[in-house]
Amino acid sequence: MSYSIGDGMVTLALAAGIVGYVYITHRTRLRKLEMIHQERLVAMEKGIPLPEFPLEPEKVRRNDPTILPIMGIVFFSLSLGAMIMLYLSLPERSHSFWIAPLPLGFLGLGLVAFHFLKIHSGR
């Protein structure tokens, strides 16, 4: 395989973009911490008590009960569509490969079954 100069330029631009993004987010966080520190120093000089708070707010993740069945339906329908497409488009001698997406279909059915079993168990 031969790569062109354009491929190298795209790779370098992508790497530079990632490094630039990380640098900008790091500098923004440092500036925010510095501003909080200065505000606290001014408040301490004036004798105003400030409540303690975490520097990074906690990200609250809620367990959404609809994610499992949605992912299961998506995986199953994707698998079913791929199996139909492979069955109809493969040549006759390789016709048995239509079952290749079957594990994805079983994954989808398993996720849907797990969701309903979890609901009925009361968890």
Instruction: List pLDDT tens digits, range 21-33.
Output: 999 999 999 998 8
**Whole domain around residue 84: which residue ranges?**
67-121
What pTM does this model have?
0.51
| pLDDT > 60? residue 123 | no
Instruction: Measure CA of the first residue to CA of the last residue in the chain; give whole Å.
Output: 54
Do residue 76 and residue 113 come from a single domain? yes
What pLDDT shows up at residue 83?
Answer: 94
> Which sign does the torsion angle of CA 70, 76, 80, 82 carry?
positive
- Tokens encoding 60: 């609250």
Domain boundary among 40, 59, 78: 59
- Token pair listed for 54: 């975490």
**Which tens digit of pLDDT belongs to each residue from 33-52?**
898 888 888 888 888 887 77
pLDDT of 93-111, one tens digit each? 888 898 999 999 999 999 9
Count of structural domains within the chain: 2
Which residue among 59, 75, 102 closes a domain?
59
DSSP letter for 123, please: -
- How many whole angstroms from its chain centre is CA 101? 23
